[in-house]
Each structure stands twice: as structure tokens, then as C-alpha cells.
Amino acid sequence: MIESIILLRYDFSISILYDAKERIRLAKTSSSPLTAILVGAGQRSTIYASYSEKHPEALRIVGVVEPDVERRRLAAERFGIDEAHCFDSVEQLTALPRIAEAAINGTMDELHVQTTIPLLEAGYDVLLEKPIGVTEEEVLHLQRKAEEHGRTVMICHVLRYAPFYTAIQRRIADGELGEIINIQTSEHVSYHHMAVSFIRGKWGSVAKCKSSMLMAKCCHDLDLITWLNGSAQPTSVSSYGSLMQFRADKAPEGAGTRCLTDCKIEASCPYSAKKNYIDQGRWGFYVWNNYHLGATMSLEEKLESLRTDNPYGRCVWHCDNDVVDHQSVIIEFDNGSTASHNMIGATAKPCRIIHIIGTKGEIQGVMEDGHFVVRHFNPVQGQEYTEEHVTLDPGGDGHGGGDLRLAEDFVLTLRGDEASASSTTLDQSITGHLIGFAAERSRLEGRMVRL
């Protein structure tokens, strides 16, 4: 039994390695690199654009649209962009003849659709950060516009490209689990990630960013559920959740309004801005302006910033946040299968957990642990099931190795290569969003929502 398991793992690894090398070869042998413009020079878009630094023969960044003057300048310096191709708005860019083949749109959630449509109209294909949009109506409107103009829009559902999920999808597609009966996923958002993004940060308030936490953080996971469940379509959704912890009435005794000014418990608080953003050096690309593009601050400047006007210096119990800190979603599909997703904010360990059960077997694993288990029935005397452990190397980039694989697939798709099994074109990415919008309606209205 052990020998057969090792052989299966070896063959699978060789297959993944061959596929990756072949696709990179195709990108490199193209006659010229794909040209692209950064629209919003934030942390996410610059990560995708960094593919051009590793593979300049496949992708070249030739323009930037960014209203922040310093950020625009830093992006231009990093990617060698001519000053004539630096713009402060999409309108300024699209007023000119097309200067590239594609755009990488990493603007904030509520700007995604309104900035992408002019790009499509001007002839650009688009790699668009998730979520696609902030309402069901505008997502479907974008889909119609992409079809109308014959442009490609790929959505940054990067987890489809992570080796962990790619390997699981291949097992399912090969029929190893039989028919899917149930999919269970969970995302545990660490206490420091919860604080920086969904309490102190840009996604802490629906009124400000227009996205629920479920859509801002977990549309990845809802997309995975629909992708792994094949052609099954969701028919109904129920959801429950609330803002339970991070409210003024839950503040511990001694908590102040800012960590470094009036807090008596800062030295023992796990949410301390000084501990997380200075001592631990976490989340600099959010906390310090343009850090992701090389801007620097002295220690004293950072401390003074947290003491005064930096929103990341606020107490987590005294912010203007209104998004949930935990939410559960239950989905029924038209083939009778079901799925659930649990988002839990402020956990000790950040991780994504999955358990898929089919008529012939099951798969269970944690992405961050770098392996999953495949189990099949084995009713021989003294045994109950067989178990195969599959270990994967995610590589060095983010989202379990998915970030740069997504960028590569975007380049190859626009160069005419056959779409990968992980393809995240707009048409293939909408269903998970529709589940997310329905889940939020269910939570707010206290009812099951039919799709």
C-alpha cells in the first residue's frame, strides 16, 4: 500500500511540473511580451505586475493610472514607465489611443466596475482584482459590457491557481471522489489580519468600501466551492453572522481610543499597533503609505503616525467598523449536493480548511499546512479506509503559490493559449459572487434566499 501511494504522489508531481514548465515555455517563445497598464498602483496590482520583473520576455508594464502622486511616481520608477504614460485617472488614459494590450485593475472594490468598463470600451483586456463589484447588478452589467466589446476579463481568484487547490480539483475531475455530496470550507482570519483590514482598515465599514466582509475576504472561498462542484448550480442560500467582538461595549477595562496615547493595557493587548506593525513588522503595505513601492519612514515617524492621524493606531474596540467578525453560509445546489463556508475573524492561526465528501471517497486538508489527505472505502477485515497523503510545495509567492501563476495564465490566455483548468474568466467567476450577495441578503433579512 505504501509503495502505491508514493508512486501516485510522484506521478502527480511530475505532471504538475511538466504543465507549469510547458506553459512558461509558451509565454517565453511568444514574439513579444504582453504590454499592460497598472490601474491603481496598490499592493495587489503590483504583486501581479511583478511577474514582469521575473519574466520580462512575457509581460511588460508600460503605463500606470494612479491619483496618488507619490505612488504614481514610485510605480513608474519601479517598472520603468515613461512619464507620458503616467495618468491620474482612467478617463485621462482612455482619452488617448490605446497604449497597451491589457490593464491590471487593482483599484478599491467600489471602483472595479466603473473603471473597468471604460477600459473595455477603449479596447483593453483586463485582469481585475476581486471582488468583481459590490452589487449583483453591476457585476452582471460588467459581464454584458465585456461581451458587447468582445474583451477578456479575468478575475483574480488566485486560490484556483494555488497548487493545493489545483491538485484537489484534478482529483475530483478525474472521478476519484465520485459524485460530490458535500463541500465544507472555512477561513480563519488571524487576529492581526482582522484588525488591520476589517476593523482599522479599508474594508472595516460597508458604508466606506461598499463590500461586506464576506465578499471582500471570502469570495475566493465561495468561488472555490462552485469551481470544485463542477457544473452544479446553486439554488438557495442561507447565512448567519454578526459583529460580536469588536464593539465599544466589548472593550476591556483600561482600553483607550489609540494604542499609543491613552491605552492602559497596550503592553498586554494582542491587537497593539506597536506590537504588530513595528515590533513584528506586519502589514507594512497597509499601515505605512506606499511601503509596498519602497517608501520608507523612520521609527520615530512611525510611532508619531500611530499616535496621531494614522487610522491603524486606533483601538480595535473604538473604530468605525461595522462589518461582521464571523459568518456562516449554507448552499444547496441543483444536483442535491450541499456546501457550507465558515468565516471566523480573529483566530490565533490563519488558515483555510477544506473537506470534500463524495460517493466514492473524500479529501480533507489545510492549505497552509501544504498537504491534504485522500480517503477511500476499504471494507477488508481489520480496516475501514485507505489514506493517501499528498504533499505540495506552494512556492514563494502569496495565496498558497497562486498569485504569479494567475498572472502567468492571464498572459498566456491573451496570447491564445488554451485556457487552464483554473481559468478565472468573468463568465466562470460570477456564480460565487451571486452566492455571496445572496448570503448577505439572507443574513440581513433573516431568510433563505433562492437564486
Top-confidence residue, 402 or 84: 84
For residues 341-349, give the mean pLDDT: 98
Q: Which residues, listed in sequence order, are joined to residue 105 by a DSSP beta bridge?
A: 39, 128
Residue type, 157: H
Question: Tell me, what's the pLDDT at 414?
Answer: 96
Pairing of strands 449-450, 234-242: antiparallel
Q: Is the pLDDT of residue 45 over 60?
A: yes
| CATH dotted code for 32-155 | 3.40.50.720
| Residue given cell 443574513 in the structure block | 443
Q: Are 366 and 358 in contact (CB under 8 A)?
A: no
- 3-state DSSP assignment of residue 40: coil
| Residue given cell 499597533 in the structure block | 273
- Tell me the per-residue pLDDT of 191-235, one tens digit each, with 9 for 90 and over: 999 999 999 999 999 999 999 999 999 999 999 999 999 999 999
pLDDT confidence of 52, banded at 50, 70, 90?
very high
Domain limits, the chain: 32-155, 159-246+321-450, 249-313
CATH pick for 159-246+321-450 out of 3.30.360.10, 3.30.70.920, 1.10.530.10, 1.10.150.20: 3.30.360.10
- Closest by CA to 434, choosing from 230, 215, 240, is 215
Pairing of strands 326-333, 234-242: antiparallel
The separation between the first and the last C-alpha atoms of the chain, rounded to the nearest angstrom, is: 45
Mean pLDDT of the chain: 92
